[in-house]
Structure formats: structure tokens, C-alpha cells
Amino acid sequence: MCGIVGILGAKPVAGDLVDALRRLEYRGYDSAGIATVENGHLDRRRAEGKLKNLELRLSNHPLQGRAGIGHTRWATHGRPVERNAHPHMNGRVAVVHNGIIENFQELKGELAAKGHEFQTETDTETVLHLVTDYLDQGLPPVEAARMALERLSGAFALGLIFAGHDNLMIGARQGPPLAVGHGEGEMYLGSDAIALAPFTDMVTYLEDGDWVVLTREGAEIHDMTGRRVERPMVKSIASALLVDKGNYRHFMAKEIHEQPEVIGHTLANYLDMAAGKVVFPELGADLAKISRVTISACGTAHYAGLVGKYWLERYARIPVEIDIASEFRYRESPLPEDGLAIFVSQSGETADTLASLRYCKAGGQRIASVVNVRSSTIARESHVILPTLAGPEIGVASTKAFTCQLSVLACLAIAIGRARGAVGADQEKELVRALTEVPRHLTTILRSESLYESLAVSLHKAKDVLYLGRGPSYPIALEGALKLKEISYIHAEGYAAGELKHGPIALIDENVPVVVVAPENDLFEKTVSNMQEVAARGGQIILISDATPDKAGCKLQTHLQMPHAHPFISPLLYAVPVQLIAYHTAVVMGTDVDQPRNLAKSVTVE
């Protein structure tokens, strides 16, 4: 994942910028660079690959500026080559960027019509030209940056410096995290406190929508409306050797909030967002000739695979077999010729999943693994690795790894669908566009977290909770129930909504909350009928939907409003509310959220 650092220092900052970037290496990157303001002019050094390549450039051609920004890049738009590396710079502005600018194509067309010439394949360069355009209109740097921020759509974090202003830096957060570090006559900007740990332990975490004007004298923070605001300064315990919780109470909360960022980076690994196409790695098999897809996984990863089954069958028109890994190989399932077997695991060390992989490999299947750890056993024994770029996940209950697994499987469904002729060029662009909007929609959902805190106060009193969903929302219902069980220890079950009257409805009374996952799609009316069955028996309905409450046709205890979005991406969006419900309920109950009893992050025994 991309990393941002910035320093307004008392001495040349190039060396400290590189040291700070080194502390962000755990996030993953493919190129790096820094830019400084020196004698009123901007200058920069960039290099492909690891930081040692950038250090070599700097040893041959040093930078002496006392104000600078640095970046480690994981390619989103454009290939991982030096030309696309950050910082992006012209004679007036330098910018580093993490995330996705959704409307960059529209802005690029507008700016090109004004005579701006683009040199890279990135969405970030649009920010550079947009700020420059406002500078050309005579606006001062802070006002130019503010005007530019108002035009940007997406989930992003930014750092900017300006020629002729070696005591000015601007940062902005719209989704991905950004922190301000406070020093004595020096100020810092970083993707997280780890990058700033050697310089200061006093940190201010920007809230979503904030933008900040830094000088060596301090920080002036504004919210998304432009209003001057105060954010607390806290003492950070971050270390270069530790993943830090930041200003979150638990790692799980931090990892829930990291999802707009890590999903953006995962999608960027598989999409050409500018062209509206999936660019999938070579699987070593003719996607058009795959006879069947077999998916095997455990726990949350199994539910990701179940969503993948819906996607693959609907969009790729290919039959999919899915089973829990601990059961799969004991069925001695016959395996077809030209079959693709997919194994999903956060750690890549899950014993049952590994055993199923070896069974399929012996059966002549092409093996693809969706893993978060590329050096893991499952990854090493696969023919091809489909990495999730979630970064380290510390909380035992999976959150960001799950949604990154969904992101990979969504891209795979489009790729196979295209190869089989089931997805045409126009539909591919439509689906890719929908995926690029996921980080922005998740940022919107996370802004309403207070609703989930209020809900948890009543929900924690329940002894049993049911989750209902139809179609791809059914696995999300299963995942919601699992999350609640894992960390709050409340008994919960997920059901396909149509199965309610085939048994589970016997459990419904006025003491049973029922969480209904119901995007307003072609299955919504049928789900409404199931809700009315619950309401008739006094059940407490908690509706998660983009539909308005009046469309439920019955009394609701709580309505959690979701943004309107393409039905294809609903599982990615609706995963977050069920995570928030579980998290805040567990917090109210006082359980050990990050390390729930009896559970382990990586299950390495059968």
C-alpha cells in the first residue's frame, strides 16, 4: 500500500524522509520518491523498486531542502515505472497521493482542454494540474489546494508542497489515514504514526474529510466544510517494529477503517481503471475452457468464496462447487478435467485448506490461491497467487482481509466472464466502474458509525440474534452472525431469508433481534415479505439497506441507511455494517475484541 511522509524541518530532510519511508515498507510498494523545496525551487528523486534504489540516486544527486514530501507507491493507475512514481511535480507544485481519484478522467479532459499536458498514466497527476490551474488563476497555495479538494471525488490522502514556500505543507484525508506529527520547530505528516516515531511521539490523527495547513509553527486543521476545527493531540506508542493502533481503541476498529484504502490497492492490482478493464494475472489455463471452478476455504474466507460462487455463476456463467475445506476432501469429490481450484486464506497456512489444495493438485486441477501472505505455504504450493493487499491484519476476527478477498474474486469473475463471452466490453466497463466506487462508498458508511454504537447498547442484551439475506447477501448474513459470535459471544445464526419459514421462524419473538441484509435489488421485495413475517411475530428488525424505511412495510427497530450503488458491489459494501454491529456490541460487553477466547488468527491444525 502507498505510504506518505512529509517534513518541515530545521535541517535538510531527505535522509529523514527515506528513514520514515523505510518504516512504511511493511505496507508494500513498487517505487519510491521524495521532493523538497530548495532555494525556492522544487526538486525530486524517484526510483523503481526498493528504497535502496532511491538511496543510490540521492547519494549521487543529494537534495538539501528543509521542506519535503516522500512516498512509497503501490501502483493503482499506471505501470510501476519511474515515470509514474510519486511525487508528481511541476515547477510550482509537488504532490504525493494514496487512494483513488474516481473522477480523474473528467477532470483530465477539462484540464487538457485548457492546455494542460499530461506526462503520466496516473490519476494523481490530475491533482497536480488541478492545483496548478487554480494557482494560474492567481489564487494563493492554500486557497488553490482548497478549491482543488472540493473538485475531487473518491477515497484519497494527499500531501502537497509548493515552490517558493519552504514553510508550508498541505495534507488532506478523504478515507485513507493521515496523521500530523508535532515537533519543536518542526512538523510532520505521515500515513501512520509508525513513520513518524523517530521524530515525535505527539500525533494528531486527521478525521475523515479533514485537510490541514502545516507550518513549522503548528497545524491549522479544517473539516470538509472548510470550518476551522481542533483535533486532539495524543501521545503515540508507535514503534518502527510494531504495527500501531493509531487513535483506535482496538486493532479491529483500525482494520475496519482501513478498508477503503486496502480495497483500493487490491482492486488496483487487478484493474486498469482508466480503460475500464480487468487486467488479471496469467493463470496458466485458458479461461474460456475452464469446465468448473472449485472453491474451498474455512470460516470467513469460506463466506468470501460463497459470494464468489454467486458472482462467477451469474457473470461468468460457469458452474462453481464450493465447500468448507475441512469437509471437502473427505467427500472424495470427483474433479473435472480443465478445472480451476481456488483456495482462500488470510494467513495462507490454514491446515484444512492446505489439505484440500493438495487433494485438488493431485487431481490435476489448476491451483490458484487468494492469500494475504505471499510467502505462505498455500501460496508456495499454488500454481498462481492472487494476492490480497490488505497488509497485516492483527485482529483475530477478519475484516479487511475478507473484503479484499471479495475484491479479488469480483475481478476474477469479470475476467472469466470476459474470456467466456458472458461479459461484453460495455458491461465490463460498467462493473469496473462500480468496483472503483467501493472505497468512496465505504468511507460514507464509516461516517455513520455513531448509529452502530447506539444500536449496540440495545443489541448486547440479546441472547440470540438472527441474520437474514438473499442471493449474495446470504453469505454476508452468515458472516455477520459469525462476527457477532466470535467477538461478543452472543449466539447468532445466519440464514437465507427464504428459509425462515422452514424452521428458524419458530425462534422469533419480541426478544429476538433480526438483522436483515437487503440491498434494493431484484430480490428486495421477496426479502420484504420475510421481514413482514418476522414483524408479525414481534421480532425486532434491524434493516441494512439503501431502500428508504417506508419500503419495509413494517415496523423497524433500526434502519441503517446504505448508499445507493451497483448491485454487483453490494457484498463489499454490506460487509462493513455487519462488522460494525459486531464490533460495537463486543465493546459494550467488554470482551477482548482483538483476541477473543478460544480463537487463533491462523489455524494450523486440522
Q: Annotated active-site positions, please? A: 2, 601
Alpha helices in 489-548 (DSSP H): 524-536
Longest alpha-carbon distance in the chain: 77
Residues 6+ apart with CB under 8 A from 422: 315, 316, 317
Q: Compute the distance between CA of residue 382 and CA of residue 525 in angstroms, rounded to an integer.
A: 42
Give the up-direction half-sphere exposure of residue 469: CA atoms within 13 A in the CB hemisphere: 27
Q: Quick one: 336 exposed, middle or buried, by C-beta within 10 A (0-12, 13-18, 19+)?
A: middle
Alpha helices in 46-98 (DSSP H): 51-60
Residue of 525, 515, 521, 512 lying closest to 552 (CA atoms) = 525
Q: Quick one: 355 exposed, middle or buried, by C-beta within 10 A (0-12, 13-18, 19+)?
A: middle
Decide if 516 contacts 465 (C-beta within 8 A): no
Could you give phi then psi for residue 198, rounded to 5 degrees? -70, -15
Residue of 360, 315, 357 lying closest to 336 (CA atoms) = 360
Query: b/e for 499-518, b at 16 or more Cβ within 10 A?
Result: ebeeebbeebeeebbbbbbb
- Residue 143 in grid coordinates: 486557497
Residues 6+ apart with CB under 8 A from 275: none
Number of H helices, E strands in the chain: 19, 27
To which residue does cell 467466456 refer?
420
Q: Which helix (H) or strand (E) holds 225?
A: none
Q: Compute the distance between CA of residue 463 and CA of residue 357 in angstroms, rounded to an integer.
A: 38
Which DSSP letter does residue 248 get? -
Residues 6+ apart with CB under 8 A from 323: 295, 296, 331, 333
Which DSSP letter does residue 280 get? P
Residue of 434, 435, 439 lying closest to 155 (CA atoms) = 439
Question: Facing residues of 173 across strands?
Answer: 157
Show contacts of 274-279: CB within 8 Å, 24+ apart.
Answer: 274/77, 274/105, 274/121, 274/123, 276/428, 276/429, 276/432, 276/433, 277/428, 277/429, 277/432, 278/411, 278/414, 278/415, 278/418, 278/428, 278/432
Decide if 167 contacts 8 (C-beta within 8 A): yes
Q: Compute the distance between CA of residue 473 and CA of residue 250 in angstroms, rounded to an integer.
A: 27
Helix (H/G/I), strand (E/B), else coil: 76 = coil
